[in-house]
Amino acid sequence: MTSPPGPLYVTRPMLPPLAEMLPLLEDIWSRRMLSNDGPYHQQFESALACFLGVPYVVLVSNATLGLLLALRQSRMCGKVITTPFSFVGTSHAIRWAGLEPVFVDIDSETLNIDAARLPEALDDQVAGLLPMHCFGRPCDTQGIGRFAKEHGLPIVYDAAHAFGVGDAQGSVLRHGDFSVLSFHATKVFNTFEGGAIICHDEATKRELDLLKNFGIVDETQVESVGLNAKLNEFQAALGLVQLVHVEGYIAARRQREQNYRDLLAQTPGIRLATAVPGTHNHYAFPIFVAPDHPLGRDGLYLRLREHGIFARRYFHPLISDLPMYRQLRSADPARLPVAKRVSESILCLPLFPDISESDQARVAALLGPP
């Protein structure tokens, strides 16, 4: 298999054969039902719940709005414990929900919030938790769940990276009060833009269904202060077709992860993230560059760029170092030493289901001694 010519980006969205989409598009064109809980939306929602093995799915237009709605629905008020090592959308959703993020340091192996550090963040204003399964590596759901239960706190998991991820007992999406998936173009499973909230009872699903459509019950009744977070019929149809292929995408990613592991096992100055059974790396393949590496993380990043390879420093800078968050007490770098170290050493290599072996070998060679 050969990768497409030209620049090698950190990810490349997967699309099903166009021919598989055409009958659905013709149907949408003829019915002219384009949004607002149309037939493809309903079919995709049921098919997705079945595929993921979860009881209730609420499709949304993107994960950011999904997080915002889940936070609203959990009726948190005050502060939310979260990770500084994530995409900025995680904390932005907290702010848009009128809440304040409290950053807690991460675990150096899982790259997720360190459950042992949660008690340090607790005060009487903390109203809930928003952990994130980073690169599809499951959080310490037992530790987080125990802490939340002890203090009566709801949990919203940012599961933007966790499509198809399981632990020994099943899908990671069964944990917490809500989990929110992203179907953005860059994700393992994409509908161009999109996402879903996973919840665990019918009444909550109904309320979220209303919230994502302005709170409208019928022509005369509006029950809540909702907004517009709907997935449209085109995206739902694409989602249905993508579901047929996603297991193949994931298997191909796993095989390419193993290729990188084999290629990079002996490369000096580079450490690989430990493999986690049942998961697959999301977006990209993370490596950690040793502080005494002759080029350093940023030098390697630039060397790859010079050769048309666009690796990414996910997640650098930390959210807690961004101007709108760094004045928070919990954003003090001295409180977040592990996140700081990881953020300064991580480099995410291109990984997607159809990256060629020769491109992976080219990336690996450039990471070796000059």
The residues of the shown chain that bind ligand T4K, judged by CB under 6 A, are 9-13, 62-64, 86-87, 89-90, 132, 158, 160-161, 182, 184-186, 195, 310, 314
Smallest distance, ligand T4K to C-beta of residue 193, A: 6
DSSP letter at 42? Answer: H
DSSP letter at 269? Answer: T
Smallest distance, ligand T4K to C-beta of residue 284, A: 9
Q: At what angle do helices 18-31 and 233-264 cross, to 10 degrees?
A: 160
- Who's near 275: CB < 8 A, 6+ residues apart? 257, 261
DSSP letter at 20? Answer: H
Q: How far is the C-alpha of 187 from the C-alpha of 179, rounded, in Å? A: 16
Q: How far is the C-alpha of 123 from the C-alpha of 176, rounded, in Å? A: 21
Smallest distance, ligand T4K to C-beta of residue 338, A: 18
Smallest distance, ligand T4K to C-beta of residue 133, A: 8
Question: Which residue, among 311, 284, 285, has the nearest Cα to 299 in the 3D structure?
Answer: 311
Q: How far is the C-alpha of 254 from the C-alpha of 289, rounded, in Å? A: 22
Q: Is 21 or 269 the residue whose CB approaches ligand T4K more closely? A: 21
Q: How far is the C-alpha of 183 from the C-alpha of 14, rounded, in Å? A: 11
Q: Is 251 or 310 the residue whose CB approaches ligand T4K more closely? A: 310
Q: Is 60 or 269 the residue whose CB approaches ligand T4K more closely? A: 60
Q: Is 212 or 269 the residue whose CB approaches ligand T4K more closely? A: 212
How many Cβ atoms sit within 10 Å of the Cβ of residue 273?
Answer: 21
Q: How far is the C-alpha of 271 from the C-alpha of 273, rounded, in Å? A: 7
Smallest distance, ligand T4K to C-beta of residue 56, A: 19
Q: Is 64 or 345 the residue whose CB approaches ligand T4K more closely? A: 64
Structural contact between residues 252 and 355, judged by C-beta atoms closer than 8 angstroms: no
Q: Is 288 or 314 the residue whose CB approaches ligand T4K more closely? A: 314
Secondary structure string (H, E, C) spanning 332-370: CHHHCHHHHHHHHHEEEEECCCCCCHHHHHHHHHHHCCC
Structural contact between residues 338 and 122, judged by C-beta atoms closer than 8 angstroms: no
Q: How far is the C-alpha of 56 from the C-alpha of 200, rounded, in Å? A: 6
Smallest distance, ligand T4K to C-beta of residue 181, A: 8
Q: Is 269 or 348 the residue whose CB approaches ligand T4K more closely? A: 348
Q: Is 160 or 250 the residue whose CB approaches ligand T4K more closely? A: 160
Smallest distance, ligand T4K to C-beta of residue 188, A: 12
Record the tokens describing residue 62, joined without a space: 């993107």
Smallest distance, ligand T4K to C-beta of residue 252, A: 16
Smallest distance, ligand T4K to C-beta of residue 103, A: 15
Smallest distance, ligand T4K to C-beta of residue 96, A: 11
Q: How far is the C-alpha of 237 from the C-alpha of 25, rounded, in Å? A: 8
Question: Which residue, among 140, 116, 110, 133, has the nearest Cα to 274 in the 3D structure?
Answer: 110
Structural contact between residues 153 and 104, judged by C-beta atoms closer than 8 angstroms: no
Structural contact between residues 190 and 164, judged by C-beta atoms closer than 8 angstroms: no
Q: Is 195 or 226 the residue whose CB approaches ligand T4K more closely? A: 195
